[in-house]
Amino acid sequence: MSVKITALEAENVKRIKAVAFAPSPTGLTLVGGNNNQGKTSVLDALAWALGGERFRPDAAQRDGAVAPAHLKVTLSNGVVVERKGKNASLTVTDPTGRRSGQQLLNAFVEPLALDLPRFMESTDKEKADILLRIIGVGSELQVKDLEIKGLYDKRTFTGQLAAQKKHFAEELISYPEAPDEPVSASDLIRQQQDILARNGENQRKRNQFAQLTDLLERQKKVVADLEFQLSTEKQRLTTMQADVKIAQTSAADLQDESTAELEASIRDIEETNRKVRANLEKARAEDEAAQYASDYDKLTGQIEDKRAERMALLNGADLPLPGLSVEDGVLTYNGKRWRDMSGSDQLRVAAAIVRRLNPDCGFVLLDKLEQMDMTTLQEFSAWLEAEGLQAIATRVSTGSECQIIIEDGMVKGTEPPAEKPQPAPIRKGWTKGAF
């Protein structure tokens, strides 16, 4: 069972003359009253009694009080806390009657519970850090967040590159009629040389034909001149005629091939290759753009996976209040940031988190609840009761929602305490012998 405040008695603390009351064990106890009557002094007195020296008010003793400040707080675990005497020194008595000290109180008093507004006024990040610390996933979540940020930055960069490459590829001109591969000049030259070689062979045959024709002519002359050698030479003539015929036949249908087309190709080679290179460059740019687009999609997938892991981490944690989360390092409740939460949700979130900081501390103190309307107060009170939590809060109001009204440093409707008669001051140095 968490510790609750069972009763408070305070005298001569700040604005308090004498206040005694027993707050409701769970739910909301509202301390009402007009301005400057001593409401906040009641909470200050409680905080001082339970929180130790660092909660001692600057002017702890009431101005004009004859007796010193006195505080007595009784707790549900049987511990009794008192401050009394000239220095308002602390006495803590445990349930067995043994004297103890602040250390015993520190075990179940959460400092933020004595000053809930301090939590409520902390930054969004501070609230988130407290939550992450108490649910124990702070460092893991931070790693996830850093990983997500890293992937996100990388994806942004990849996306920019993909868009640039796409734009670049679109700007490049292409030539659908150009061949797929660059044309080789040496191939064409080799083809040309082959043709020229064949043409040379043709020429040789043509020359042979011309020579033989020449010989024939000369032979005819020889025949005419040398009639006596006629028979011999006739035989030669016949042979030669046969040879001529063969040569003539093989030369007759010869046709020279043209190299004009190849020459044109050689002339066009530069232009063709320029187009081929342009097409290759465009295709490469398109490939790169597609690669970057695909990388971008992969990174998107990775970011989604990490986010899911992150959510799982939070969902798996034992949260002080269902619906609490941390998004981008900021505390959220049902998806809303602190400033967008309703007043009662803010109170609920603050009380739940502070409670978790020390589950043994069953109470919270809250100053200045006047901005809360009745519905908000009721909702908050009902939640406190359901959680078994006790809240003592002040409010500028003398309405019926307040269980206690403070007026001029006292609980309205009670009598001022009778001043104790003070012992007469002893004159120092007085001796009978003086007379």
Q: Is 41 in the site for ligand ADP (CB under 6 A)?
A: yes
Q: Position 16: which residue type?
A: I
* Interaction partner, residue 41 (Mg ion, ligand ADP, none; CB < 5-8 Å by kind): ligand ADP
Q: Position 63: which residue type?
A: D
What is the smallest separation between the CB atom of 394 and Mg ion, expressed in angstroms?
6
Q: Is 15 in the site for ligand ADP (CB under 6 A)?
A: yes
> Nearer Cβ to Mg ion, position 314 or 365?
365
> Nearer Cβ to ligand ADP, position 44 or 233?
44
Q: Which stretch binds ligand ADP (CB under 6 A): 60-68, 161-169, 266-274, 356-364?
A: 60-68
User: Which residues would be at the binding site for Mg ion (CB under 5 A)?
Assistant: 39-40
Burial class (CB in 10 A: 0-12, 13-18, 19+), 11: buried
C-alpha to C-alpha distance for 192 and 105, rounded to whole angstroms: 107
> Nearer Cβ to Mg ion, position 35 or 422?
35
Residue-by-residue DSSP string for 190-201: HHHHHHHHHHHH
Q: What 8-state DSSP symbol labels residue 338? A: G
> Nearer Cβ to ligand ADP, position 100 or 398?
398
* Interaction partner, residue 33 (ligand ADP, Mg ion, none; CB < 5-8 Å by kind): ligand ADP
Q: Is 35 in the site for ligand ADP (CB under 6 A)?
A: yes
Q: Is 416 in the site for ligand ADP (CB under 6 A)?
A: no
Q: Are strands 324-327 and 99-100 parallel, antiparallel or unpaired?
A: unpaired
Q: Is 320 in the site for ligand ADP (CB under 6 A)?
A: no
What is the smallest separation between the CB atom of 105 and Mg ion, expressed in angstroms?
24
Which two three-digit tokens encode residue 260? Answer: 């004009």
| 41 in Cβ contact with 8 (< 8 Å) | no
| 354 in Cβ contact with 112 (< 8 Å) | yes
Q: Which of 2, 22, 1, 14 is nearest to 72 (CA)?
A: 22
What is the smallest separation between the CB atom of 121 and ligand ADP, expressed in angstroms?
18
For the chain, the straight-line distance linking the first and the last C-alpha, in angstroms and rounded, comes to 68
Q: Is 14 in the site for ligand ADP (CB under 6 A)?
A: yes
Count of residues that bind ligand ADP according to CB under 6 A: 15
* Interaction partner, residue 310 (Mg ion, ligand ADP, none; CB < 5-8 Å by kind): none
Among 23, 27, 38, 111, binds ligand ADP (CB under 6 A): 38
What is the smallest separation between the CB atom of 402 and ligand ADP, expressed in angstroms?
12
Which residues on neighbouring strands pair with residue 366, listed in sequence order?
393
Q: Is 253 in the site for ligand ADP (CB under 6 A)?
A: no
Q: Which of 6, 14, 21, 22 is nearest to 69 (CA)?
A: 14
Q: What 8-state DSSP symbol labels residue 430? A: -
Backbone φ, ψ for residue 379 (5° rounding): -60, -45
What is the smallest separation between the CB atom of 126 and ligand ADP, expressed in angstroms?
26
> Nearer Cβ to Mg ion, position 40 or 344?
40
C-alpha to C-alpha distance for 417 and 45, rounded to whole angstroms: 18
* Interaction partner, residue 15 (ligand ADP, Mg ion, none; CB < 5-8 Å by kind): ligand ADP
Q: Which stretch binds ligand ADP (CB under 6 A): 61-69, 169-177, 244-252, 331-339?
A: 61-69
Among 26, 37, 279, 344, binds ligand ADP (CB under 6 A): 37
| 34 in Cβ contact with 395 (< 8 Å) | no
* Interaction partner, residue 35 (Mg ion, ligand ADP, none; CB < 5-8 Å by kind): ligand ADP
46-71 as b/e, with b when 16 or more CB fall inside 10 Å?
bbbbbbbeebeeeebebeebeebbbb
C-alpha to C-alpha distance for 229 and 13, rounded to whole angstroms: 167
Among 63, 181, 227, 253, binds ligand ADP (CB under 6 A): 63
Q: Is 414 in the site for ligand ADP (CB under 6 A)?
A: no
Q: Which of residues 345-404 bind ligand ADP (CB under 6 A)?
A: 394
What is the smallest separation between the CB atom of 405 and Mg ion, expressed in angstroms?
13
Residue-by-residue DSSP string for 403-420: SEEEETTEETTSPPPPPP
Which two three-digit tokens encode residue 116? Answer: 């809930």
- Interface positions with ligand ADP (CB under 6 A): 14-15, 33, 35-41, 59, 61-63, 394
